[in-house]
Chain A
Amino acid sequence: MILVNYLAAVALLCIGLYAVLTKRNMIKMVMGLSLMEAATYLFMISLAYRAGSTAPVLLSPPPGKSAGDLVHGNVADPVLQNFCLTAVVIGVAVTAVFLSVVVRIAQHYRTLDSDKVRKMRG
């Protein structure tokens, strides 16, 4: 049923993109970008999935299996999971910067409307 994951990822991506493209409230735009980010994580984790596989941990293998079985056998792809871990860390930092910029904008412009925060154009 891994297909459901892919569909969910695409749906999340589209909802997030919809928010980024149409919502003028900057907090909602940040939320949209966070949703898109979550969609990329779901996508990566789903790419790492192998049918019937175990976690890529070689210590204390599940009952009936040895570490050797896992090395040669069916485990989820650890590299893609690593991708996600790295991206989650980066994502937290970016969201923090994002929100602090939005708070500062709200303080200076007294609005969150991205359509009113455009002194520079043309």
Chain B
Amino acid sequence: MTEAALTSLLPLPVAIPLAGAVTAPLLARLSARLPVIVSVAALTASAAVLLLAAPWVFGGRVIAGYLGHWTPVSGHVLGIAFAADPFGLLLALATAIIGVVLLLYSLSELGGLGPRELGGYACLFQLLLAAVIGAALTADLFNLFVWFEVAALSSYGLAGFFLERPMALEAAFKILVLTTLASFAVFIGAGLLYAETGALNFAQLHDSLARHLTTPDTVALGLLVAGFATKAGLVPFHGWLPDVHTTAPGPVNALFAGPMDGLGILAIGRIVFQVYPAGSTPVLGLLMTFGLVSALLGAIMALAQDDLKRLLAYDTISQVGIIVVGLSASNPAGVAGATYHLVNHALFKALLFLAAGAIVHRTGVTKLSEMGGLARHMPVITAAFLLGAVSIAGLPPFNGYVSLSLIHQGLEQNHDAAAYWLTLAAQVITIAALGRAAWLAFFRRRAGDYEWREQLRPGMLAGLGSLGACCIAFGVAGPALLRTLMAPAAAGLLQPGRYAAGVLSGSARLVTLHITFDYFSPAELVSVAASIVIAAVLGWRYLRIREPRVIGALRALHTGSANDYAAYAIAGTLVAIAVVSLA
């Protein structure tokens, strides 16, 4: 297959699930499960097309095509570019493959629902996946805004999927308010940038902004970062995230935590590195601060939760923070670690949310204080949850170890001791929070039996099994994956000039980055061991003491009121604009 043929195939991975989404409600009239089965096929086809491009792109090429063949005329772009660079393709592939697993799992867990529900579910699920793949492949700012909105609209539907549950409606209202505010920020940001530079294409924007940067350009940067940070779930834009995750079904949680947060992080990465010249504004410092605050606040709030899914949701905020910290280190090790952690997080958080969802599904219990002794009754779920927990904890040989080590390495190379220790502190609290959850849910003694509802079905087992296997494989094959997938992805982000050349001319080659990773680095192994010991002590102590004042104060900040969350987000947006444009 030639490169030209490949570029003409690039819109297909988005078009196939979009077509599936449109036909889903119609197919549901034939048979209730048919739309979900078709959506599995659609995402498989989408992943297959992406895999065709993978050898070229991960070999270090950027390939680009213009929709409708509106190719650039003497450097001026009129059409919408679809470009596959290793960073975007990695997220697109991960999204398509995890999408297949989640849809299979849904077929098994929610297969008993009626045709209307399943038709709508398959439609929204595919729309969201198509939007994330589209956002990963597009090289056009306005097109990115449109994919953002498609993802937003489908996420509203999925957040309020259980319409008969009032809590789900409350969550849907909060995600609507915050994401709508975010969409205004992205919209105005894109408009300002276009009015100032006359360009929407990432490559043209890059060339224009590298020459000179005006105040409207930097205001636009602040707005865009704030808007996409809401989708990623960074503090202080995170108000919607815990609520939505508390009420949504397990596969939807997994979809939001992996691909949808991924969209926000991908857009931030693209805008900060590939569109704007990264060194000429204080945006990396701003992101580092947002990331560290998210990492710490998310971990502390996770430690204090009683609802299992809400705990995992706060942990998502913490992990997104760590990914953004890695990105803002802006050296090869940090950025490669961040992309690695992005994929890892999608895998292990999906595993944890599916396990939590299965517990709720089988016992009807959502609170940790009412759980206990589940290890005896549900050995498979216990194993899945523990596997996810040790992966997040960064225990070798599981996947979190590799990505976290790389992020640490990136911070060390910048001699950023404060960020390094704060990341490590967040890590310790995360381990304590998950350890506490595992103890309370699985190992503690509990009087009385549960009201058993449903059995684990083969599709659910297959979903848990494949995600768990990926967690182990991504850990064991760490150095190989780093060389073949993550280093090219980091190269795509850190060589914006070559990405821009690729988008404009249709093809360009990236310079290979050599990132060393020592699996048996003594310092890293000691730090993992020390974190686990400290976390065990912390978690054990936390079970026996009354809630400390700090946690009470942080809890009080999360008032649950949509007005307050909107105020935090607006404040965050203003801070972002002020820091980026005034400094």
Residues on A close to B: CB < 8 A?
A: 17, 20-24, 26, 29, 33, 36-37, 40, 43-44, 47, 77, 79-80, 83, 86-87, 90, 93-94, 97-98, 101-102, 104-105, 108-109, 114-115, 117-122
Known contacts A29-B563, A104-B169; A97/B156 CB under 8 A: yes
Q: What's the minimum C-beta distance from B230 to chain A, rounded to whole angstroms?
A: 14
- Is the CB of B420 closer than 8 A to any CB of chain A? no
Q: B570 to A101, Cβ gap below 8 A?
A: no
Contact assessment for B187 and A121 in the assembled complex, using a CB-CB cutoff below 8 Å: no
Q: Is B210 an interface residue (CB 8 A)?
A: no
Given contacts A33-B177, A79-B200, A101-B156, contact A118 B560 (CB under 8 A): yes
Contact with A along B188-215 (1 / 0, CB 8 A): 1011101100001000000000000000
- Asked whether A44 and B563 contact (CB < 8 A) given A98-B176, A101-B160, A119-B167, the answer is no
* Residue ranges of B at the interface with A (Cβ–Cβ < 8 Å): 142, 146, 149, 152-153, 156-157, 160, 163, 166-167, 169-173, 176-177, 180-181, 183-184, 187-188, 190-192, 194-195, 200, 242-243, 246-247, 304, 310, 555-556, 558-563, 566-567, 570
Q: Name B306's closest neighbour in chain A (CB-CB).
A: A122
Q: In the complex, are the beta carbons of B184 and A40 less than 8 A apart?
A: yes
**By the criterion CB–CB under 8 Å, are B560 and A94 in contact?**
no
Give the nearest-CB partner of A79 in chain B. Answer: B194
Question: Which of chain A's residues have a CB closer than 8 A to the CB of B173?
Answer: 26, 101-102, 105, 114, 117
A105: chain B residues at CB < 8 Å are: 166, 169-170, 173
Q: Which residues of B contact A104 (CB under 8 A)?
A: 160, 163, 169
- Residues of the B chain whose Cβ atoms lie less than 8 Å from the Cβ of A120: 167, 170-171, 242-243, 246-247, 310, 560
Question: Min CB distance, A28 to chain B, in Å?
Answer: 11
Tell me which residues across on chain B come within 8 A of A115, comparing CB atoms.
561, 563
B462 to chain A, nearest CB (A): 32
Taken together as a complex, chains A and B put the C-alpha atoms of A43 and B555 apart, in Å, by: 38
The residue on B at minimum CB distance from A46 is B195
Chain A nearest CB: distance from B63 CB in Å? 26
Cα–Cα, bound, A122→B184 (Å): 27
Q: A102-B173, A119-B167 are in contact. Are A29 and B153 (CB under 8 A)?
A: no
Task: Contacts A94-B149, A97-B176 known; list 11 others, CB within 8 Å.
Answer: A29-B562, A77-B195, A80-B194, A87-B187, A93-B153, A94-B153, A97-B156, A98-B176, A120-B242, A121-B555, A122-B555
Please tell me if the beta carbons of B184 and A83 are within 8 angstroms of each other in the complex.
Answer: no
* Chain A residues within an 8 Å CB radius of B180: 33, 37, 94, 98
B429 to chain A minimum Cβ distance, whole angstroms, is 17
**Chain B residues positioned under 8 Å from A90 (CB to CB):** 146, 149, 153, 183
Q: Are A83 and B170 in contact (CB under 8 A)?
A: no
Select from chain B the residue with minimum beta-carbon distance to A84: B191
Query: How far is A95 from B201 in the complex, measured between Cα atoms in Å?
Result: 29
Chain B residues with CB under 8 Å of A43's CB are 188, 191
- Number of inter-chain CB pairs below 8 Å: 119
A86 to B80, CA, bound (A): 15
Minimum CB–CB distance for B155 against chain A, Å: 10
- Knowing A83-B142, A94-B153, A121-B560 touch, does A36 contact B187 (C-beta < 8 A)? no
Residues on the A chain within 8 Å of B200, using CB = 79
Whether A83 and B191, one on each chain, are in contact in the complex, defined by CB atoms closer than 8 angstroms, is: yes
Contacts of B570 in A (CB 8 A): 17, 21
**A20 interface neighbour in B152, B177, B304, Cβ under 8 Å:** B177
Query: Roughly how many angstroms separate A109 CA and B167 CA in the complex, as a whole number?
Result: 10
Does A22 contact B156, Cβ atoms closer than 8 Å? no
Closest chain B residue to A93 by CB distance?
B153
CA distance A35 to B25 in the complex (A): 33
Residues of B within 8 Å of A114, CB to CB, are: 173, 561-563
Known: A20-B181, A36-B184. Contact between A118 and B563, CB under 8 A?
no
Bound-state Cα–Cα, A17 to B183, Å: 14
Docked complex Cα distance between A113 and B146 (Å): 32
**20 residue pairs A–B, Cβ–Cβ below 8 Å:** A20-B177, A20-B563, A21-B567, A23-B563, A29-B562, A77-B195, A83-B187, A83-B194, A90-B146, A90-B153, A93-B153, A94-B176, A97-B157, A104-B160, A114-B563, A115-B563, A118-B560, A120-B171, A121-B558, A121-B559
User: Which residues of chain B come closer than 8 Å to A93, judged between CB atoms?
Assistant: 153
Contact B563 A21 (CB under 8 A): yes
Q: In the complex, how many angstroms separate the beta carbon of A46 from the nearest chain B beta carbon?
A: 10
Centre residue among A115, A121, A122 by max chain B CB count within 10 A: A122
- CB-CB under 8 A for A44 and B191, given A20-B181, A33-B180: yes
Instruction: Give chain B residues whose Cβ lies under 8 Å from the Cβ of A47.
Output: 191-192, 195
Q: Is the CB of B166 within 8 A of A119?
A: yes
Q: How far is the CB of B70 from chain A (nearest CB, A)?
A: 13
Closest chain A residue to B556, Cβ basis: A122
A87 partner residues in chain B, CB cutoff 8 A = 187
B559 in contact with A118 (CB, 8 Å): yes
| Alpha-carbon separation in the docked complex, A10 to B238 (Å) | 26
Residues of chain A contacted by B153 (CB below 8 angstroms): 90, 93-94, 97
In the bound complex, residues from chain A placing their C-beta under 8 Å from that of B152 are 94
Which residues of A are found within 8 Å of B195, using beta-carbon distances?
Answer: 47, 77, 80
**Contacts A44-B191, A83-B191, A94-B153 known; A119 to B176 CB distance under 8 Å?**
no
Report the minimal beta-carbon distance from A20 to chain B, rounded to whole angstroms.
5
Inter-chain CA distance A79–B310, complex, in Å, is: 43
Complex CA–CA separation, A118 to B172 (angstroms): 12
In the complex, what distance in Å separates the CA atom of A90 from the CA atom of B116?
A: 24
Taking CB as reference atom, which chain A residue is nearest B153? A93
Distance A97 CA – B559 CA, assembled complex (angstroms): 24
